[in-house]
Amino acid sequence: MCAKPRLANAYQPFAVNVMNFTARFKYLMGLPGKIYRQQPGRLTKSIELDQQNCFVKLHFGVGWKEIFKNLLQLRLPIIGAKTEYLALKKMQQLHIDSLEPVEFAESGINPATQQSYLVTKALQNMISLEDLCAEWQHNKPSIQFKRDLIRALAVIAKKLHDNGINHRDFYLCHFLFDPQYYQQTQKIKLYLIDLHRTQIRTKTPWRWQVKDIAGLYFSALKLPLTRRDLFCFMQIYDQGNKFWQEVEVKAWDLYLKTYFVKQKIGNKTILFDAAMRDQLTLEKFFQQPNAIIQQAQILKNDATTTVAKYSDFLVKRYNARSLGKIFKRLFRTSRARRCLMQALRLRHLGIATPKPIAIIEQLTGVIKRESYLVIEYLEGEDLLALLNTHPEKIYDVAEKIHSLFKVLYTIHTAHGDMKATNLWMAQQQIELLDLDGMRQYSNEYALKKALVKDKKRFLKNWQQHESFHQVFQHCLGKNYFKYFLDTRALACPQPVRETKLRLKQLTAGELLTVLCKDEITVLDLKAMCQVLNYEFVSSKQYTDYFEIALKVKA
């Protein structure tokens, strides 16, 4: 069976207009040009036809093995160029910029040996989004440009999925940015390419929407994106919390498969950061983890966990307890893997936690036994020890705790075990530890309930320290900043001015805590209270600041 080449548009016939498919196929295959991709059954290269730059994709037949492999995975096999040709025509209907099809033809009725080709016009002077965004690590773009780019991606994704299309390779590298158009108009223009695996239906299934967006998110995980950048995308591609949680899980699974190395040693499955491949200390640990832990500096050892410092790493072993607990975790992710996934996610979202290095999962048949987590070791101390030795840091810590809970609410996450020992002060920031109990919530009520539980557990740490308990109780309330004012960074007369403004917002009997850096401000506030209707309750001096309590009189 031979097919006459179909002209995709009003493009003039090429100089060599051979209507026989076999001759045309051989002619295109024989044209000189740079080969961009060569895989079994498929070739992509640039060519010049009729004095125009083009791309040709030649399909030689996928074979029965590939067809049966896809069918066993419940997928329709891609057997030729027709899928991409139809997808490009659909892009034109939806006004999504993509390659312009010029000529398409196919020949043969046997799906395993069917031949086809697709010729498209070449896109000139374009930049792959992957290459463009890779420069952001060293040269940060303007916020406006970054947000415009994110919005453009979100609009394309939404338009595709709303019209029953999923890409299946929805990565940054498959978007081309037009710099010349941007220079002329200051508007973003993106071209979507590599549509050979695209699926077109009346409605895009949920799981394929998740896979597409997860692929896009995965390809952006190493970029310096903020939570606001992510919310910018979510605002346009509007979905519920459950959808975004599934996207996160899928994206981080892809991350682990790409940037972590999986290794089997006996009954142990090891997953470690590929960048740490040459660490000899880790190799020794992977061979005999229990022996290394016994030789290392033990920091904690109880029925559930053993924690040790080994070289520059902190090793945590999750001990197998009763037989009931072992069977309970039979079909669940190991605690070490949950910690790894949550740590990667939190670090990407800008929440401090030690860098995860590796995990070891020990199996007996299908039964999960001990698992091990290796993270970087950070010099510091837990909040309880810190405030016992440096009580003057209470307000700095309280402000950080307030911000931490605010962020956890924003990302719909609760920690699950807010002991003071799980909050580590290192490098002037609070690092979250013990993430195996951390959970994400799609339901708002369940989230608030879990965060209330976290707050109660956190306050329980300070029952023996009344002054600390009171400050933290205020900082975890809704109106923390209404009753607290930090003027240490302000120059005279701003502290007094800001204090007056804040006191005007309070009602009779309410207290305001003010922090200031010098004694002159204390005297100024005393003088202000004598003139105005306020009471100077107390003043306490610390190493480098003063804490003042003011009260609104009845």
Question: Residues with catalytic annotation?
Answer: 169
The SS3 call for residue 209 is helix
Please tell me the distance from the alpha carbon of residue 230 to that of residue 232, in angstroms, as a whole number.
Answer: 5
Q: Yes or no: say if 57 and 63 are a contact pair by the CB < 8 Å rule.
A: no
The DSSP string of 110-166 is -TTT-EEEEEEEPPPS-EEHHHHHHGGGTSPPPHHHHHHHHHHHHHHHHHHHHTTEE
Question: Collapsing DSSP states into helix, strand and coil, what is residue 109?
Answer: coil
3-state SS assignment for residue 102: strand
Task: Give the dihedral of Cα atoms 146, 151, 156, 161; nearest 10 deg.
Answer: 130
Task: Please choose, from the candidates 518, 511, 476, 516, the residue with its C-alpha nearest in 3D space to the C-alpha of residue 498.
Answer: 516
Which residues lie below 8 Å from residue 134, measured CB to CB, with a gap of 6+? none
3-state per-residue secondary structure call for 465-516: CHHHHHHHHHHCCCCHHHCEEECCCCCCCHHHHHHHHHHHCCCCCCEEEEEE
CA 27, CA 21: separation in Å to the nearest integer? 10
DSSP 243-312: HHHHHHHHHHHHHHHHHEEEEEETTEEEEEEGGGTT-HHHHHHHH-HHHHHHHSEEEEE-SSEEEEEETT
Q: Are 544 and 517 in contact (CB under 8 A)?
A: yes
Alpha carbons 325 and 329: distance in angstroms, whole number: 6
DSSP string, 12-41: PPPSS---SHHHHHHHHHHS---EEEEETT
